[in-house]
Structure 1
Amino acid sequence: MALPKKPVVIVLAFFAIYVIWGSTYLLNKIAVTELPPFKLAAIRFIVASILIFIIAKLLKVNISISKQQFKNTIIAGFLFLTFGNGVVVWALKFVDSGFAALEISAQPLVVLILMRIFQGKKIATMSYIGVVLGFIGIYLLVSQKQLISQENQMVGMIMIFVCMISWASGSLFVGKADLPSNYFVNTGYQMLTGGIMLAIASLFFGETWSLPTQWSTTVQWSMLGLILFGSIVAFTAFNYLLKVVSPEKVATSTYVNPIIALFLGWWILNETITLQSIIAAVVLLTGVYFINTNRVIKPRGIGR
């Protein structure tokens, strides 16, 4: 069945991957001030996966998968969501949402380096320039005195970088793994398995669980936004755009998300935006642009 290419639908889809995904950093930051991080992420992805399977059933989509595909979704779910997202949510207890989004925008740089190390992939000249600019941008971001002086902020930034390695490893894994061809089904199983592992991690670390009725109204709305919009609407829009417009246009979300996150963090949470942070953003995103122009961007994960 051909997908509709109505301009209004395309604009709304771009709004979803630009603004909604850019706002997930803010929503996680708000929620993690009150909820334990692994519990927060576990609830988000388990509930989202259940909703996805319900929608799939209503659309008469076959959700059955092979044992090997199920094993692969567990691995991908761990790399992208259990570790990749769960630890980022933990880091947001100490790191401003805008800084976290800007650091995470360097993920294509990490993917490129791992491809070079483990797959022997040759790096184009423009990509080398992008790598250099990316490292300069990250250095400018994390070398600010106000970051180093705040308790646990540098630890949070380091752990976010480790999460980027996890995401990059997941990207390389799913590029060759046998996974469900339907992105909706693939997402549902990754969220379900990743969410269950997050719940286990939450219990292992002794996090306190509470009913949604005990949460503040702000946190309730934040969680609702993460589940419905961040996990379902935006990812559906992402895959829709990959089918109706060029991958390069879809990849522009890489540059827009951190800008949206920086702005929302400043506007709503009064997070500080320094001149050095702005310069770091320009340098880092320019580097990411150079890297992305030399490869085709494909959907790799659901870690936002």
Structure 2
Amino acid sequence: MLSIPVGAALCWIYLVWGSTYLSNRIALESMPPSLISGIRFLIAGSVLLLISALSGARLPKLGEWKVAAVPGVLMIAIGQGSMVYAGPMLPSGIIALLFAMLPIWTTLLQWAMPGGTRPSAGVLAGLLLGSAGMALLVGRGSGAGTHWQLEGLVAVVLGTLSWAVAALYMKRRAPQGSALQGAAMQMLTGGACQILVATLCGDWQTFSFGQITPRSGWAVTYLVIVASVITYPVYNWLVKAATPTLVATFAFVNPVVALYLGWLVLDEKMTALMVLSSVLIVCGVIAITFAQARANRGDRLALAEKAAGAGKLQGSGI
């Protein structure tokens, strides 16, 4: 079974990042998309770097900044940025659904990489269940599909692919400092890229901080403190502690959380089909979780048997 820290980290990410779709939607009421993400991550990254320095950690070296810049650009500037960018074009629930492609991208990329292994039957079954649930949810909005902008759809799909590449990169690279410091460097590089995009697009010319409504202000505050300062270090730790496919299951659960929050907070309609699709998605996550736990247990037993066999050989003088 999964360890308690891994399970707790997964649940936290499921709930918090599932709520960011609603928060971004509220923030968009009075702020441009690129500025929302840029300001969010620059503030959060600065806070994390300050906390890291006050805790006695040394300042990052140039080489560490270069390593952190890769997931910073792929995961934050492109991955997160694409979702906020698509916010004015697509319903928040549909953006969350499209992001549920992340586990599929992650599994396929792991399989395609040199030395990659074919996904187990349990993982494939979980991906199939999650994809079926996602398809039902997308089908729910088919009547309004003609109003969805292709530009937004393409942006989110590319964002999920970029996030999957970043997760695999982080898994294969040696750790660069603490999870706290790594998250800070990623946020600062990703946030800086988004501020640059906002500047090039002329967002500063039509924006003033005085136009931010209280609702948008509280939404951005939540995104900075809870969704970024607290949760990104948890995610960075989880990427190292669990398999990429298991970590990526948050993208299956996030749409469920986003839809239910829309129902509770924004009084959006909840149908029986939505409930059924949510159940399929959760069952898919459970299947992947148990398949990964079984595979990890098998790997540990194989290593233990190998070590025991080596010990016997040494004891016999061979």
Please tell me whether residue 58 in structure 1 is matched to residue 43 in structure 2: no
Summarize the alignment of residues 37-56 of structure 1 with structure 2, pairs less than 5 Å apart. 37-56=33-52
Question: Which one of 141, 147, 150 corresponds to residue 147 of structure 2?
Answer: 150
1:188 to 1:256, Cα distance in 2 relative to 1, 3 A:
same
Show the counterpart of 1:84.
Answer: 79
Show the counterpart of 2:209.
Answer: 212
Normalized per residue, the structure richer in helix is 2
Show the counterpart of 2:180.
Answer: 184
1:252 Cα deviation (Å)? Answer: 8.0
Q: Is the 8 A contact 1:130 1:286 kept in 2?
A: yes
Please tell me whether residue 200 in structure 1 is matched to residue 196 in structure 2: yes
Q: Distance in 1 between matches of 2:7 and 2:163?
A: 28
Show the counterpart of 2:225.
Answer: 228
Q: Is the 8 A contact 1:23 1:260 kept in 2?
A: yes
Q: Is the 8 A contact 2:30 2:211 kept in 1?
A: no
Q: Is the 8 A contact 1:17 1:253 kept in 2?
A: yes
1:98 to 1:110, Cα distance in 2 relative to 1, 3 A:
same
Q: Distance in 2 between matches of 1:136 and 1:256?
A: 13
Q: Is the 8 A contact 2:102 2:251 kept in 1?
A: no
Question: Which one of 264, 279, 282 corresponds to residue 279 of structure 2?
Answer: 282
The residue identity in structure 1 corresponding to 2:110 is M
Show the counterpart of 1:28.
Answer: 24
Deviation string, structure 1 residues 263-304 (Cα, Å, up to 9, x no partner): 22122223333433333333233333323433369xxxxxxx
Q: Distance in 2 between matches of 1:146 and 1:36?
A: 28
Deviation string, structure 1 residues 49-92 (Cα, Å, up to 9, x no partner): 1111111122122232342x222211111110000000111112
1:255 Cα deviation (Å)? Answer: 6.0
1:66 to 1:115, Cα distance in 2 relative to 1, 3 A:
same
Show the counterpart of 1:117.
Answer: 112
1:218 to 1:172, Cα distance in 2 relative to 1, 3 A:
same
1:20 to 1:103, Cα distance in 2 relative to 1, 3 A:
same
The residue identity in structure 1 corresponding to 2:163 is W
122-131 or 208-217: bigger deviation: 208-217
Please tell me whether residue 108 in structure 1 is matched to residue 103 in structure 2: yes
Q: Distance in 2 between matches of 1:252 and 1:174?
A: 17
Q: Is the 8 A contact 1:96 1:271 kept in 2?
A: no
Gaps of 5+ in 1: 1-6, 298-304
Q: Is the 8 A contact 2:171 2:240 kept in 1?
A: no
Identity rate, percent: 28
Q: Is the 8 A contact 2:34 2:195 kept in 1?
A: yes
1:106 Cα deviation (Å)? Answer: 4.1
Gaps of 5+ in 2: 296-318
* TM, length-normalised to structure 1: 0.80
Q: Is the 8 A contact 2:102 2:248 kept in 1?
A: no
Show the counterpart of 1:4.
Answer: none
The residue identity in structure 2 corresponding to 1:221 is W
1:236 Cα deviation (Å)? Answer: 4.6
Q: Is the 8 A contact 1:109 1:291 kept in 2?
A: no
Show the counterpart of 2:169.
Answer: 173
Q: Is the 8 A contact 1:98 1:263 kept in 2?
A: no
Secondary structure of the structure 2 residue equivalent to 1:33: coil
Q: Distance in 2 between matches of 1:283 and 1:46?
A: 37
Q: Is the 8 A contact 2:252 2:281 kept in 1?
A: no
Q: Distance in 2 between matches of 1:34 and 1:254?
A: 27
Deviation string, structure 1 residues 164-213 (Cα, Å, up to 9, x no partner): 11111111111122441300000000000001111111122232353433
Q: Distance in 2 between matches of 1:250 and 1:167?
A: 12
1:216 Cα deviation (Å)? Answer: 0.9
Show the counterpart of 2:66.
Answer: 71
**Highest Rg: 1 or 2?**
2
The residue identity in structure 1 corresponding to 2:74 is L
* TM, length-normalised to structure 2: 0.77
